[in-house]
Amino acid sequence: MSTQVNTVLFDLDGTLIDTNELIISSFLHTLGKYYPDRYKREDVIPFLGPTLTETFESIAPEKVEEMIKVYREFNLGNHDLLVKEFDGVFETIRSLKEAGFKIGIVTTKVLMVVEKGLKLTKLDQFFDVIVALDHVKMPKPDPEPILKALELLGSKPEEAIMVGDNSHDILGGKNAGTKTAGVAWSAKGKEFLLQFNPDYMLGNMADLLDILEVGEK
């Protein structure tokens, strides 16, 4: 990769921290309340990535706010029990920070829950900027949140790479003009992500250090 990349933007859920179980459990709890026995685990995997509003609007437009409330109550109540970080994430983020990269988070989650996850995994010390759902009008794959993060960091799209576990992250990065990297540990699977032609596919977060030539002279 060209040495001009100085900025790395990360999705949070399913990329830096393993919230998959928490999210799946939150959806099953919420949908089970309104539609008992209708949804199974595999049915809710496609809901990882879009905003809660988008997902619940596709299911029950008249109950969106109510369902989001039920979801968030369960999600927050079980957060610390079910969330953990992925292998290699802490060390990689620390290495990027020490090497002088500007690093940020661009997520479709609300800020309060983002901060909770970062604090739990001790990643909160590293990020220069967080662009959460409450900060934008249009979530990924719209370029708005990525461009906002770049603006706050004083970076240009061509100097940045967007790392994520979902099509929203890859397409959002492409729409904003950044390089993109998918993560092979995505709950939707590596093959799913490859359809969106990310510039890189990470087998472990530490692969980023090789791509960005961190620690190499």
Contacts of 62 (CB under 8 A, 6+ apart): none
Query: Could you tell me if 178 and 164 are in contact, meaning their C-beta atoms sit under 8 angstroms apart?
Result: no
| CA separation for the pair 159, 140 (Å, rounded) | 19
Task: State how far the Cα of 19 lies from the Cα of 4, in Å rounded to an integer.
Answer: 32
CA dist., res. 105 & res. 1, Å (int): 21
Give me the helix-helix angle, 52-59 and 64-82, nearest 10°: 130
Active-site entry in 11, 18, 165, 169: 11
In 3D space, the residue among 194, 177, 212, 216 whose CA is nearest the CA of residue 92 turns out to be: 212
Note if 11 is an active site residue: yes
Tell me which residues are annotated as active site.
11
